[in-house]
């Protein structure tokens, strides 16, 4: 039996279209709001079709010294061109990008996870310093 962490794939987002990319400041002020944008396919576009798409992105924060992470939020992407007329004939497609506004009081690490309906679970992380 595989452990949960073995189900997640990771790579350099510049060369792999499935990796969630975390965009935000490297250092923030304690208690001040800042924006974190997480997207899939930043450098190499990920398909967004009925047959091949990103279903969701989640973001977590693990404060330095804490045992467990906090879930910051989750974005669900549910429109991929589906239609009663057939695949990829629908009038709406969601883009696999989500922005979170948050504040932190301690330094730590942001963890992003995403799910491709064909290629499974992906993850990335980014350290954040606090002044």
pLDDT tens string 80-131: 999 999 999 999 999 999 999 999 999 999 999 999 999 999 999 999 999 9
52 is catalytic: yes
How many of the other CB atoms lie within 10 Å of CB of 60?
Answer: 19
**Mean pLDDT for the chain overall:** 95
Is 119 tagged catalytic?
A: yes
The domain that contains 13 carries what CATH number? 2.60.40.730
Active site residue 24: no
The arithmetic mean of pLDDT across residues 35-43, rounded, is 95
pLDDT for the residue 38 = 98
Q: Is the pTM of this model over 0.75?
A: yes
pLDDT at res. 9: 84
Tell me what the mean pLDDT of segment 58-67 comes to: 98
Q: The domain containing residue 98 runs over which residues?
A: 4-130
φ, ψ of residue 51 to 5 degrees: the values are -85, -25
Query: Active site residue: 17, 42, 96, 123, which one?
Result: 17
Does the structure show a pLDDT above 90 at 52? yes
Is residue 16 among the annotated active site residues?
yes
Kindly name the residue from 14, 52, 106, 129 that is annotated as catalytic: 52
pLDDT band at 78 (very low <50, low <70, confident <90, very high): very high
- Choosing from 24, 82, 119, 125, the catalytic residue is 119
Choose, from 42, 46, 80, 96, the residue flagged as catalytic. Answer: 46
Structural domain count of the chain: 1
Q: Which of 42, 80, 116, 123 is catalytic?
A: 116
pLDDT at 15 over 90: no
Whether 17 is catalytic is yes
63 has a pLDDT exceeding 90: yes
């Amino acid at each position: 039996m595989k452990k949960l962490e073995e189900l997640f794939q990771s790579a350099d987002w510049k060369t792999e279209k499935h990796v969630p990319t975390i965009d935000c400041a490297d250092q923030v002020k304690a208690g001040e709001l800042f924006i974190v944008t997480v997207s899939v396919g930043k450098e190499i576009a990920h398909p967004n079709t009925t047959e091949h798409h990103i279903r969701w992105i989640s973001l977590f924060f693990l404060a330095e010294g804490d045992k467990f992470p906090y879930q910051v939020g989750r974005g669900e992407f549910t429109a991929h061109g589906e239609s009663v007329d057939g695949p990829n004939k629908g009038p709406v497609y969601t883009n696999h990008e989500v922005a979170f506004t948050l504040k932190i009081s301690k330094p730590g690490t942001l963890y992003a996870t995403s799910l491709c309906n064909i290629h499974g679970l992906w993850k990335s992380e980014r350290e954040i310093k606090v002044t």
